[in-house]
Amino acid sequence: MKKIVIASNNPGKLGELTALLKPLGIEAVAQSLLGVEESDEPHETFLENALAKARHASRATGLPALADDSGLCVASLKGEPGVHSAHYAGRGGSRDERDARNNAKLQAELLGHEDRRAYYYCVLVLVRGPDDPAPVVVDGTWEGEILEGPRGTNGFGYDPYFETDQRGLTAAELPAEDKNRLSHRGKALSRLAARLNAAGINWPGPPCAR
């Protein structure tokens, strides 16, 4: 089984990516298990942040690295919280506490807005080495709208408030296998697998292998 490092310490993302990568014959190892701290995310685009995280993890471990940068974009808030989704209401506290504050802030910002359309966006960047000049980049979106109250106990982040465009369920009401198939992250990973297969990349191979 091929091994890559996942450039994230978010347990929700790690669980989803591990489950999605296993059928591809890829062993996903969390960077925290290899002693790698999370990289800074100073950029204003998902792509730049994902690339920075992937290069950081690969440089620290010597392994190919896969980074995800994703977030929630709300139409009436001009795309916010966007790249700031994880720390929309500040960085302090546990992940659960931050999720609760983020959702409270989102609800406050949406007061008075009739348009509650939103979408999740994910970009995945795969580097075969820290200086890979041609990283593989794919993305995916998941359309829906923000509810006024939460439903469901699965998922993480904004999932209980995000009613999807499939079946009228929130992302937190979907079984894990359904979410992995329908979500922005699932769509991006499916495209990644297709890209690798179509290009005939000798994975992980040298950085310029095609």
Residue 69 annotated in active site: yes
Which CB contacts under 8 angstroms, 24+ apart, belong to 24-27? 24/193, 25/1, 26/1, 26/2, 27/1, 27/2, 27/3
Q: What is the CA radius of gyration of the chain?
A: 17
Q: In what order do the strands lie in the sheet with 2-6?
A: 26-30, 2-6, 65-74, 117-127, 136-146, 162-164
Length of the chain (residues): 210
CB atoms within 10 A of CB 74: 23
Short-list 136, 128, 121, CA closest to 57: 128
End-to-end, the C-alpha distance of the chain in Å comes to 20
* Residue from 69, 132, 139, 159 carrying the catalytic annotation: 69
Active site positions, annotated: 69
